[in-house]
């Protein structure tokens, strides 16, 4: 599966629309070790389904990977299909604490009727869902702020994390995070030179970004390992915003801890100076 994903990125498939040479075509063990060297103590191994009958197998892999990998949040995915409520419930029973869906790749609206009981369950349980809801890099009829706003109208208490800050509709998704207590945005790829080349963040929105970050609503995201640049470029992009050390600490540490707690933190690694 992962090799097919890499091939798709290498070929700049239609849902990418641009050259996207993946930086980290390493083994799982090598990539986890690299995260350790970067000081990352908590992360999600997020998978998502793009057709029926595949979500449960992805969940089995993701949950087993988290079980044997300190710092990895147990995660799962879902797809609109008759058995979706059964396997989502099983995933939660096995410890799933984070879900991911990709409306663009999956090709379904967030308010698909088959997903109503799932959204209700996740909203009631307070389990966060990372949702690729924005149009970038290539929009569909299921992406953008309007379909997601319809979902929030049905489930206003849903705990959601909007990937890529909802790019390119930054202002509309910022407004949704401002209006809804449990809506968050993640920084995945945003503010890097690569992302700014086709979906720049408007400087006029920086004051609202600053306020939301300090309010706990902005979270560090990266899309590691499937990124076309070194991981450090994500952090460099955030630092370039010049929103101050308190904002950076909130986005990179305090806000994720506020959302996910400390149960999944890996032990801190000794610094080279102390080893």
Q: What is the mean pLDDT of each run of 10 residues along the chain (275 residues)?
A: 65 64 91 96 95 97 97 98 98 98 95 98 98 93 96 98 98 98 98 95 98 98 95 97 98 98 92 51
pLDDT of residue 218: 98
As given in the structure block, the two tokens for residue 10 are: 């290498």
Position 274 in a domain? no
pLDDT of residue 275: 42
Q: Which domain holds residue 83?
A: 2-259
As given in the structure block, the two tokens for residue 199 are: 């979906």
Position 199 in a domain? yes
Q: Which residues have CB under 8 Å from 14's CB, separation 6+?
A: 138
pLDDT of residue 138: 84
Q: CA-CA distance, 109 to 44, in Å (whole number)?
A: 24
pLDDT of residue 137: 87
pLDDT of residue 20: 78
Position 163 in a domain? yes
Q: Is 175 exposed, middle or buried (0-12, 13-18, 19+ CB in 10 A)?
A: middle
Position 267 in a domain? no
Position 268 in a domain? no
Q: What is the CATH number of the domain that holds 109?
A: 3.20.20.140
Phi, psi of 174 (to 5 degrees): -60, -40
From residue 261, give the alpha-carbon distance in Å to each of 89, 264, 266.
21, 8, 12
Q: CA-CA distance, 216 to 182, in Å (whole number)?
A: 10
Position 264 in a domain? no
β-strand partners of 161: 130, 184
- Helix or strand run (H / E) with residue 26: none
pLDDT of residue 23: 87
Position 272 in a domain? no
Position 265 in a domain? no
- Number of domains, the chain: 1
Phi, psi of 162 (to 5 degrees): -85, 115
From residue 241, give the alpha-carbon distance in Å to each of 63, 105, 123.
35, 30, 33
């Amino acid at each position: 599966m992962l090799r097919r994903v890499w091939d798709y990125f290498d070929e700049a498939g239609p849902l990418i629309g641009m050259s996207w040479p993946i930086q980290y075509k390493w083994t799982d063990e090598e990539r986890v070790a690299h995260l350790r060297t970067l000081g990352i103590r908590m992360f999600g191994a997020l998978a998502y389904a793009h057709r029926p009958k595949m979500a449960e197998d992805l969940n089995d892999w993701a949950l087993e990977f988290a079980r044997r990998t300190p710092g990895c949040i147990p995660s799962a995915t879902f797809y609109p299909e008759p058995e979706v409520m059964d396997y989502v419930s099983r995933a939660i029973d096995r410890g799933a604490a984070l879900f991911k869906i990709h409306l663009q790749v999956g090709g379904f609206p967030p308010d698909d009727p088959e997903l109503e009981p799932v959204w209700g369950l996740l909203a009631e349980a307070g389990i966060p869902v990372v949702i690729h809801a924005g149009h970038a890099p290539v929009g569909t009829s299921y992406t953008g702020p309007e379909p997601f706003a319809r979902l929030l109208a049905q489930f206003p208490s849903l705990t959601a994390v909007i990937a890529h800050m909802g790019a390119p509709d930054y202002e509309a998704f910022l407004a949704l995070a401002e209006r809804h207590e449990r809506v968050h945005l993640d920084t995945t790829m945003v503010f890097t030179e690569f992302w700014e080349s086709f979906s720049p963040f408007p400087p006029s929105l920086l004051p609202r970004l600053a306020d939301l970050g300090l309010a706990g609503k902005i979270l560090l995201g990266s899309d590691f390992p499937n990124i076309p640049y070194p991981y450090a470029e994500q952090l460099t992009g955030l630092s370039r915003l010049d929103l101050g050390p308190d904002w950076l600490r909130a986005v990179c540490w305090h806000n994720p801890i506020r959302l996910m707690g400390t149960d999944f933190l890996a032990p801190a690694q000794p610094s080279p100076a102390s080893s």
